[in-house]
A and B are shown apart, each in its own frame.
Chain A
Amino acid sequence: MKTFTHPLISTLLSLCAVTLLGVAQATEAELTVHTYDSFVSEWGPGPKLEQAFEQQCNCDLKFVAAEDGVSILNRLRIEGENSKADVILGIDDALLEEARATGFIAEHGVDTAAVKADLAWQDKHFVPFDFGYFAFIYDSSKIAQPPTSLKALVESEAKVIYQDPRTSTPGQGLMLWMKSVYGDEAATAWQQLAQHTVTVTKGWWEAYSMFLEGGSDYVLSYTTSPAYHIIAEEKTQYKAAAFTEGHVAQVEVAARLKSSQQPELAQQFLQFLLSTEAQKILPVTNWMLPVVDVELPDTFATLVQPKRIGFTPQEVAAQRRDWIKEWRAAATK
Chain B
Amino acid sequence: MLSQRSAGRTRRHYLGYLALAFIIAPTVLAFAALTGFARQGPDWALLGDPYLLGVLGFSLKQAALSALLSVLLALPVARALYYVPQLWGQRLFLSFCLLCFVLPTLVLITGLVALLGRSGWLTPLLGEDWNLYGLHGILLAHVFLNMPFAVRALLQQLHSIPDTSWRLAAQLKLSGWQRWRYVEWPVLQGHLPLLSGFIFVLCFNSFAVVLALGGGPQATTLEVAIYQALKYDFNIGEALLLAWVQFAIAGGLFLLMVRLGAVQWLSIDTASGYYRPRPMGWRRAVHGLVYGLSVLLLALPLLALLPGLFKLEASIWQRMQLLAPLLTTLTLGLACAVLGLVFAYCLLLPLRYARWQQQLRRQWLLEWLATHALVAPAMVLSVGLYILVLLTLPGKADELSWSVSLVLLLNVVVIIPFALQQVRPRLLQFDDQYERLCGVLKLSLWQRLRVEWPWWRHSAISAFCLLLVLAMGDVTVFSIFGTQDWMTLPWLIYSYAGTYRMAEASLTAVVLLLLCALIVFLFERGRRA
Task: Give me the interface of A with B, judged by CB distance under 8 Å.
Answer: 1, 4, 7, 37-38, 40-41, 43-44, 63-65, 67, 70-71, 74-75, 77-79, 82-84, 159, 164, 166-167, 194, 197-206, 208-210, 212-216, 228, 232, 321, 325, 327-329, 331-332
Inter-chain contact B117/A213, CB cutoff 8 Å: yes
Contacting residue for A228 out of B390, B498, B500, CB 8 A: B500
Q: Given the complex of chains A and B, what is the CA–CA distance between A296 and B228 in angstroms?
A: 38
Give the Cβ gap from B242 to chain A, nearest Cβ, in Å.
14
B117–A332 contact, CB under 8 A?
Answer: no
- CB contacts (< 8 Å) of A67 on chain B: these are 479
Measured CB to CB, the closest approach of chain B to A323, in angstroms, equals: 13
Contact B216 A197 (CB under 8 A): yes
* Residues of A contacting B131 in the complex (Cβ-Cβ under 8 angstroms): 198-199
In contact, A199 and B216 (Cβ under 8 angstroms) = yes
**B260 at interface, CB cutoff 8 A:** no
- For residue B495, CB closer than 8 A to chain A, the reply is yes
Contact of B394 among A37, A44, A79, A214 (CB under 8 A): A79
In the complex, the answer to whether A210 meets B231 with C-beta atoms within 8 Å is no
Give the distance in Å from the alpha carbon of A328 to the alpha carbon of B52 in the complex.
11
A and B contact pairs by CB, cutoff 8 A, 17 listed: A37-B484, A38-B495, A41-B484, A41-B499, A64-B483, A74-B234, A82-B391, A84-B395, A167-B228, A198-B133, A199-B132, A199-B133, A199-B214, A204-B498, A205-B498, A209-B502, A327-B217
B215 beta carbon closer than 8 Å to chain A: yes
Does the CB pair A38–B483 fall under 8 Å?
Answer: no
Residues of B within 8 A of A75 (CB): 390
- Which chain B residues in 54-110 approach chain A with CB under 8 Å? 54
Specify which chain B residues have a CB less than 8 angstroms from the CB of A4 in the assembled complex: 318
Pick from A83, A166, A205: contact of B228, CB under 8 Å: A166
Q: Is B114 an interface residue (CB 8 A)?
A: yes
Interface SS of B by simple majority: helix
- Across the interface, which residues of A come within 8 angstroms of B505, CB to CB? 209
In the complex, A186→B183 CA distance in Å? 62
5 A-B pairs with least C-beta separation: A214-B119, A200-B216, A199-B133, A199-B215, A82-B394
B interface residues, Cβ below 8 angstroms from A: 37, 51, 54, 113-114, 117-119, 131-134, 211-218, 228, 231-234, 318-319, 321, 323-324, 387, 390-391, 394-395, 398, 479, 483-484, 494-495, 497-502, 505
Contacting residue for A65 out of B212, B213, B391, B483, CB 8 A: B483
Please tell me if the beta carbons of B117 and A215 are within 8 angstroms of each other in the complex.
yes
Give chain A residues whose Cβ lies under 8 Å from the Cβ of B214.
199
Complexed CA–CA distance, A295 and B218 (Å): 46
Please pick, from B215, B232, B501, the residue contacting A198 in the complex, using a CB distance under 8 A.
B215
Contact of A70 among B118, B132, B231 (CB under 8 A): B231
Most buried by B among A198, A199, A327, A331: A199
**A208 and B500 within 8 A (CB):** yes
Quote the shortest CB–CB distance from B422 to chain A (angstroms): 33
Contact A71 B234 (CB under 8 A): no
> What residues on B are CB-neighbors of A208 within 8 Å?
500
CA distance A70 to B234 in the complex (A): 9
Task: Check A71/B231 contact, CB under 8 A, given A214-B117, A215-B113.
Answer: yes
**Are A63 and B232 within 8 A (Cβ)?**
no
Contact B495 A41 (CB under 8 A): yes
Are A70 and B484 neighbours in the complex by a CB distance under 8 Å? Answer: no
Contact present for A332 and B51 (CB under 8 Å): yes
Q: How far is the CA of A41 from the CA of B496 in the complex (A)?
A: 10
**Contacts A78-B390, A331-B217 hold; do A166 and B232 have CB atoms under 8 A apart?**
yes
Looking at the assembled complex, report how far the CB atom of A2 sits from the nearest CB atom of chain B, in whole angstroms.
10
Least CB distance from B323 to A in Å reads 7
Contacts of A228 in B (CB 8 A): 500
**Considering the chains assembled together, what is the distance between the CA atoms of A202 and B221 in angstroms?**
13
Contact (Cβ within 8 A) B234 A332: no
Tell me the bound Cα distance from A325 to B398 in angstroms. Answer: 35
A84 CB contacts on chain B under 8 angstroms: 394-395, 398
Besides A37-B498, A159-B118, A209-B502, 10 other A-B contacts (C-beta < 8 A): A4-B318, A67-B479, A78-B37, A167-B232, A199-B133, A200-B216, A201-B212, A205-B497, A214-B119, A331-B216
Instruction: Write out the residue numbers on chain B whose beta carbons fall within 8 Å of the beta carbon of A37.
Output: 484, 495, 498
Measured CB to CB, the closest approach of chain B to A223, in angstroms, equals 15
Within the complex, what minimum Cβ distance (angstroms) separates B379 from chain A? 13
Q: Name which residue of chain B comes closest to A77, CB basis.
A: B234
A1, A203, A332: which has the most chain B beta carbons within 10 Å?
A332
Q: Which residues does chain A contribute within 8 Å of B213, judged by CB atoms?
A: 199
- Whether B318 and A38, one on each chain, are in contact in the complex, defined by CB atoms closer than 8 angstroms, is no
CB < 8 Å neighbour of A38 from B119, B233, B234, B499: B499
Enumerate chain A residues within 8 angstroms of B217, measured Cβ to Cβ: 164, 200, 327-328, 331-332
CA distance A241 to B392 in the complex (A): 49
